Structure 1
Amino acid sequence: MRRRQLVQLTAAALAAPAFGTFAQSFPAKPIKLVIAFPAGGPTDITMRQLAENAGKVLGQPVIVENKPGAGGTLPAQQLQGSAADGYTLAQIPLGVFRLPYTTKMTWDPVKDISYIINVTGYAFGIVVPADSPMKSWNDFVTYAKANPGKLSYGSTGTLTSPHLTTELIAQKLGITLNHIPYKGSSELAQAIVGGHIMAAADSTGFAPLVESGKLRVLNTWGEQRLAKFPTAPTLKELGLDIVQNSPFGIGAPRGTPPDVVKKLHDAFKKAMDDPSYVQALARYDMIPIYMDSAQYAKFAQETFAREKALVEKLGLFKAQ
């Protein structure tokens, strides 16, 4: 009996290192984090700070790669062809959960991503040029009703939260707007300052242009008014029961080893808690929105179902 126990213990001891070797040695090289929006915008700037902090914890650099376009879904798509080894990560914007309802897909955004951690969300609003005759939200709605389809507004891309939320607002108010998609906040800011569009729906990366007197905020989309723009009403104050902060986080390819997911989660959680990241978020009126791996996976499943209802409501659903 003692001999049998000794053999079993020896076998277990030999097997354990083989099972855990990869996770223990991870990471042995730099990690790539693909984000969904261009360089220079709020997402890029805050995620670069987060990546820098996480790299210090992990002992290997986390290198940000920008992959804008397709409503913010390209990083998640890139995961589908990447090795499940923890060395390729992606930002997962809300648009990922709408994709199967609007285009033909060969992968499932709930089942085919390993959800690591949710990190933050956005503060959104609608702005117009400072010299616009639309001085208030009431002016915006009045003009849109009198000129169906002529009021042009830009967003950070088709099927992004700024686009779909603005369309939901328009539907509730019975107005028709002319949507112009851009690849990110920087391109959108150039368009509205350059007079190419009449309004813009975006996160508060537009704040410097408001503060410099080039843009005016007509509304914001949070539960409460933003301290930075205390005179701008929320959608709820304007009679629209809508709150949108579009939480996003970080995912890895399906099948990434649980120990690697945990190591990444723990590193990015420490990176979130670093004051430098909190300060970076504050520049854009963003706040930490933490979900651990299990909570984030559940959020993905629930959001997937909820976004289907929104896409159907707006008449954008495409049967597969």
Structure 2
Amino acid sequence: MSLSIRRRQFVAGTAALATAPLLRAQTAWPSRPIRFLVPFAPGGTSEIVARSVAAELTKQLGQSVFVENKPGGAGVVAMAEAAHAPPDGHTIILGHVGTLAVNPYMLANQPYDVNKDFVPVTLLAKVPNVFVIHPDVPAKNFREFVAYVKAHPGQLSYGSAGNASAGHLAMEYLKLVTGMFITHIPYRGTGPQLTDLLAGRTQASSAGMPALGAHIRAGKLRAIAVGTHERIPALPDVPTVQEMGYKDFETSQWYGILAPAGTPPEIVKRLQEESYKALRSSAVTERFATDNAVGGGGPPAEFAAFIAKEQKTWREIVRKAQIRAD
């Protein structure tokens, strides 16, 4: 055997040895607990969706999928951390309408590109936005509320889970179509903003049924409209905004899984398949039904197309409503 042939065999053997651990790691995924970042504080719909799915993934994968709430900067803090995490499938993040479809147009600078530094895995859920007011507001329904705000411009305030949260976007969209002037007060999560709303320190809000349902049923908050095209089963007597004369108005919260760019396709595919399975478990379907959430689970390409469509829609809304990070 010639010297050149032996050298080529040595180089090939060395390369095979070098790549073997990587291939084994990918095959054995997950080899350690998976960190599931949520860009908002505890107590909101985002955490409920993430924890419901994470619990099932933990059972299915044989490794802990632990949810870590990391609020701040309209979701930028957590997104930046996820973007720079090793692309090995052991760090994932909950993407959402604000971080993926609004921030690129609302924030001048972000330390990442949502379309280049992440790979979409799957859409987890769509959750209807519900518009609520404190019972002390002298309005029994949506039309009375709009009329009251217009008669008292700037005198009322609404809270949200933070800049670019689903509630912030929904209320700004509503302000745009109705011509209301109501002040935005961003909080660090749905929980803190609901504390002030329930105490009457703010007068209105928009969030999902997971966070609002118990308070609506207890009479502590008054639901005046929903943001979906159709009424929702949990609130059959509450009209849609579209029914109130605002044609084509639609806004909902949506959540999905993203991984850092460069995550091996086979890991992305496995994660999507396991998420699909988790979303169809009895524990998740029952919880989602209670909250009027619609489960997803489709392939990465489908989620990527959905994000692109939402970006196009919200780019126009951000421009027309002049939504800014307060």
- Name the TM-score, length of structure 1 as normaliser: 0.89
> Which of 147, 154, 163 in structure 2 is aligned with 1:158?
163
Alignment partners' CA distance in 2, 1:282 and 1:55: 21
> Greater shift after overlay, 276-285 or 230-239?
276-285
- The code of the aligned residue for 1:62 comes to V
Aligned residues: 310
Alignment partners' CA distance in 2, 1:178 and 1:57: 45
Find out whether 1:281 has 2:285 as its counterpart.
no
> Greater shift after overlay, 178-187 or 302-311?
302-311
> Which of 294, 300, 305 in structure 2 is aligned with 1:298?
305
Which residue of structure 1 lines up, in the alignment, with residue 205 of structure 2?
Answer: 200
Which residue of structure 2 lines up, in the alignment, with residue 65 of structure 1?
Answer: 68
Alignment partners' CA distance in 2, 1:150 and 1:224: 31
> Which of 232, 238, 244 in structure 1 is aligned with 2:238?
232
> Which of 22, 35, 39 in structure 2 is aligned with 1:36?
39
Stretches of structure 2 that go unaligned for 5 or more consecutive residues are 1-7
> Which of 41, 47, 63 in structure 1 is aligned with 2:50?
47
Which residue of structure 1 lines up, in the alignment, with residue 318 of structure 2?
Answer: 311
- The code of the aligned residue for 1:257 comes to P
Which residue of structure 2 lines up, in the alignment, with residue 135 of structure 1?
Answer: 140
Call closer, same or farther: CA 1:292–1:183 in 2, change over 3 Å. Answer: same
Alignment partners' CA distance in 2, 1:305 and 1:69: 25
Which residue of structure 1 lines up, in the alignment, with residue 228 of structure 2?
Answer: 222
> Greater shift after overlay, 266-275 or 282-291?
282-291
Alignment partners' CA distance in 2, 1:71 and 1:105: 11
Which residue of structure 2 lines up, in the alignment, with residue 183 of structure 1?
Answer: 188
Find out whether 1:89 has 2:96 as its counterpart.
no
Q: Give the match's secondary structure for 2:163.
A: coil
Call closer, same or farther: CA 1:317–1:69 in 2, change over 3 Å. Answer: closer
Which residue of structure 2 lines up, in the alignment, with residue 210 of structure 1?
Answer: 216
Q: Deviations over 1:182-241 (max 9, x none)?
A: 222211221111111111111122110111111110111112112221111101101112
Alignment partners' CA distance in 2, 1:131 and 1:316: 28
Which residue of structure 2 lines up, in the alignment, with residue 3 of structure 1?
Answer: none
Q: Structure 2 matches for 1:250-289, cutoff 5 A?
A: 250-289=257-296
> Which of 234, 244, 255 in structure 1 is aligned with 2:251?
244
Instruction: Tell me by how many angstroms 1:298 deviates.
Output: 2.1
> Which of 94, 102, 116 in structure 2 is aligned with 1:98?
102
Q: Deviations over 1:113-134 (max 9, x none)?
A: 0111111022211111234311
Q: Give the match's secondary structure for 1:39.
A: coil
> Greater shift after overlay, 194-203 or 93-102?
93-102
Alignment partners' CA distance in 1, 2:157 and 2:322: 20
Alignment partners' CA distance in 2, 1:45 and 1:169: 25
Alignment partners' CA distance in 2, 1:317 and 1:158: 8
- Name the TM-score, length of structure 2 as normaliser: 0.88
Instruction: Tell me by how many angstroms 1:73 deviates.
Output: 4.0
- The code of the aligned residue for 2:217 comes to E
Q: Give the match's secondary structure for 2:314.
A: helix
Q: Structure 2 matches for 1:5-16, cutoff 5 A?
A: none
> Greater shift after overlay, 283-292 or 44-53?
283-292
> Greater shift after overlay, 233-242 or 289-298?
289-298
> Contact between 1:33 and 1:90, CA under 8 Å: does it hold in 2?
yes
Stretches of structure 1 that go unaligned for 5 or more consecutive residues are 1-6
Q: Give the match's secondary structure for 1:279.
A: helix
Alignment partners' CA distance in 2, 1:314 and 1:158: 14
CA RMSD of aligned residues (A): 2.3
> Contact between 2:275 and 2:297, CA under 8 Å: does it hold in 1?
no
> Contact between 2:129 and 2:253, CA under 8 Å: does it hold in 1?
no
* Percent sequence identity over aligned pairs: 30
Alignment partners' CA distance in 2, 1:225 and 1:316: 27
Alignment partners' CA distance in 1, 2:239 and 2:72: 30
> Greater shift after overlay, 127-136 or 25-34?
127-136
**Segments of 4+ in structure 1 off by > 3 A?**
14-17
Alignment partners' CA distance in 2, 1:34 and 1:298: 23
> Contact between 1:168 and 1:314, CA under 8 Å: does it hold in 2?
yes
Q: Give the match's secondary structure for 2:242.
A: coil
Alignment partners' CA distance in 2, 1:267 and 1:289: 12
- The code of the aligned residue for 2:165 comes to T
Alignment partners' CA distance in 1, 2:48 and 2:179: 37
